[in-house]
Structure 1
Amino acid sequence: MVDSLRDQLLKSGIVKQLKDEKRQQQPAPKPKAPFAKGKPTHKSKPARSDSEMDLAKAYAIRAQTEAQERKRIEQEAAEQARLKRERKAKVQQLLEGQVLNKADADQVRHFEYGGKIRRVYVDANQLADLNAGKLGIVQNAGRYLLVTQALAEQVREIDPHLLALLVSPAAAGVDEDGIPDDLMW
């Protein structure tokens, strides 16, 4: 059998000597990572500095504060809504059976409420009493209800926004027809 040149050199020991000499001349290789072949090597993150930790803490504190503020605002809104419901219920209970509106009223009394001109239908006697301040108008559930002055004052104490009209007899001059002087068209 014919040995190849390579086999002959290995047997003689010359090749082994050359390999040893090359190893001594080359710098020692760095040890390889214990990771499997083909997987990316992960570098460890540098330790955070104190300023980065403070910044992270600041963001966490800020988020917590904002969450507490939102919760407080929601609670205040819920409380306001509850109080408003209670006031409306009180007014509704107070107005039961006390409304003076008439289905056959033929005269219109205009008044300003909520930045708009509103109207309520009254008869001649109610118009005179309304303009004299003996009657008032209360807004409830989208309707304008004619009530006595005493009842209008009670509604004002509960929720002043629901009192649509209550003429002060001393403040407005009234002519012989019962129409305020400033209301002449």
Structure 2
Amino acid sequence: MSTSLKDQLLKAGLVKKKDVQKTAKKKAPSVPKKARNKASEATLRAQRAMLDKAKKDKALNEKRKAEAERKARYAQIKQLVDGGKLDRKKGETAFNFPFKKKIKTIYVTDEQHKLLSKQQVTIISMDNELFEIVPKKVAEQVAKREPQRIINISSSSDTPSANDPYADYEIPDDLIW
């Protein structure tokens, strides 16, 4: 009983066979070629915009992820340093060291100065103007996370050059410069 509407109309005599054939030949109104091109151009632009947005979103997500990882590393380093730093509150002796092509000064106790001279403790840069003294074990843990925070206080004069006139002279450990 699934006869089509046109068959039912023919049986009822409401339409003639010629009319049914005419309507079968007629197609839906076709879209002009220019309109089809405009529509395809619009869809291409929309697709490009979606791809650009996806790329921007991906780059933003990667940037946020990198920032979150950096903050997590800083928190770990801060926790390590806070747990192992040496107390410098009673420090009266100035200790100078190179940092980013400048000479920085921190005040330490006499014992801490000796330890720094013998390189038994290390200076860690928390921020550009905040420095802490930590034991070698803590410095090694920090170096695993961010090696640029470790300040190398050994001078380059440990290995004398060939034309250094003072190569034969030993530098005393208690020298304060």
Indicate how the Cα distance of structure 1 residues 61 and 93 shifts in structure 2: closer, same or farther if over 3 A, else same: same
Indicate how the Cα distance of structure 1 residues 172 and 132 shifts in structure 2: closer, same or farther if over 3 A, else same: farther
**Which residue of 1 is the match for residue 132 of structure 2?**
145
Which gives a bigger RCO, structure 1 or 2 (Cα 8 Å, sep 6+)? 2
Indicate how the Cα distance of structure 1 residues 54 and 155 shifts in structure 2: closer, same or farther if over 3 A, else same: same
What amino acid does structure 2 have at the position aligned with 1:64?
M
- The reply on whether 1:129 has 2:106 as its aligned counterpart is no
**Which residue of 2 is the match for residue 120 of structure 1?**
106
- Count residues with an aligned counterpart: 136
Indicate how the Cα distance of structure 1 residues 128 and 175 shifts in structure 2: closer, same or farther if over 3 A, else same: farther
Structure 1: stretches of 5+ with no match in the other structure: 1-45
Q: 143, 146, 152: which one pairs with 1:156? A: 143
8 Å CA contact 2:97, 2:104 repeated in 1: yes
Pairwise CA distance, 1:106: 1.6
- The reply on whether 1:101 has 2:87 as its aligned counterpart is yes
TM-score w.r.t. structure 1 length?
Answer: 0.59
Deviations, residues 68-95 of structure 1 (Å, cap 9, x unaligned): 1111111111111211121122122222
Backbone CA RMSD of aligned residues: 3.1
Pairwise CA distance, 1:103: 1.2
**Which residue of 2 is the match for residue 6 of structure 1?**
none
8 Å CA contact 2:95, 2:107 repeated in 1: yes
Indicate how the Cα distance of structure 1 residues 177 and 168 shifts in structure 2: closer, same or farther if over 3 A, else same: closer
Pairwise CA distance, 1:121: 1.3
Out of 60-69 and 91-100, give the one that drifted further: 91-100
**Which residue of 2 is the match for residue 177 of structure 1?**
173
8 Å CA contact 1:129, 1:178 repeated in 2: no
Pairwise CA distance, 1:61: 2.2
- The reply on whether 1:57 has 2:43 as its aligned counterpart is yes
8 Å CA contact 2:93, 2:110 repeated in 1: yes
Instruction: Give 3-state SS (helix, strand or coil) of 1:48's partner.
Output: helix
**Which residue of 2 is the match for residue 69 of structure 1?**
55
Pairwise CA distance, 1:130: 1.5
| Cα distance in 1 for residues equivalent to 2:99 and 2:44 | 50
**Which residue of 1 is the match for residue 166 of structure 2?**
none
